[in-house]
Amino acid sequence: MREIVASELERIGDERLEMVTITAVKVDGSLEHADVFYSAMSAEEEGRSEEVAEALDELRWPIQKIVNREVRTRKTPQIQFRPDLVLSSALRIDEILRGMSDRGELDDRVPLDSESPEASTKPGEPEDQANPSEDDGTHSE
């Protein structure tokens, strides 16, 4: 359903929604309602969040018709657009932490993510394997 909504928004081509991304769709267990989460970071920065919300509300029924046609289920959930606040909240937290770090208010022993040695470790990879030295102590004979 996320792909259907995203491609339909792209096809419609409304200028107000140029930098809007559909991030997730959460459908309730009864298949009656679907929350379609969107991110509009540039619109937020430009103070156009309300404009984006209004545009999505205007397009809800035309998009609903497409979803009804494309989704092959007994029931098609009614879509409702909701802003995805996760990314903007994470960016705000990062901004606060960087400001505190710049002012010397953070403990220097706690690195920010980009400075963390774990940042170079791949998921599931032991830390001592992340940056192996040329001589790892094993010799083939």
Tokens 């909504």 identify what position? 5
Confidence of residue 7 (pLDDT cuts 50, 70, 90): very high
If one looks up domain 2-89 in CATH, what number appears?
A: 3.30.300.20
pLDDT at 140 over 60: no
Burial of 89 from C-beta contacts in 10 A (0-12 / 13-18 / 19+): exposed
List, for residues 8-29, the tens digit of each pLDDT value.
999 998 888 888 889 999 999 9
| Domain locations in the chain as residue ranges | 2-89
Residue-averaged pLDDT of the chain:
79
- The predicted pLDDT at position 118 comes to 54
Find out whether 48 and 16 touch, Cβ atoms under 8 Å. yes
**Residue 76 is inside which H or E element, if any?**
none
pTM of the model: 0.64
Q: How many CA atoms lie within 13 A of 119 on its CB side?
A: 7
- State the Cα–Cα distance between residues 22 and 10, nearest whole angstrom: 11
SS3 5: helix
Q: pLDDT tens across 75-105, in order?
A: 889 999 999 988 777 778 888 888 888 888 8
Backbone φ, ψ for residue 85 (5° rounding): -90, -5
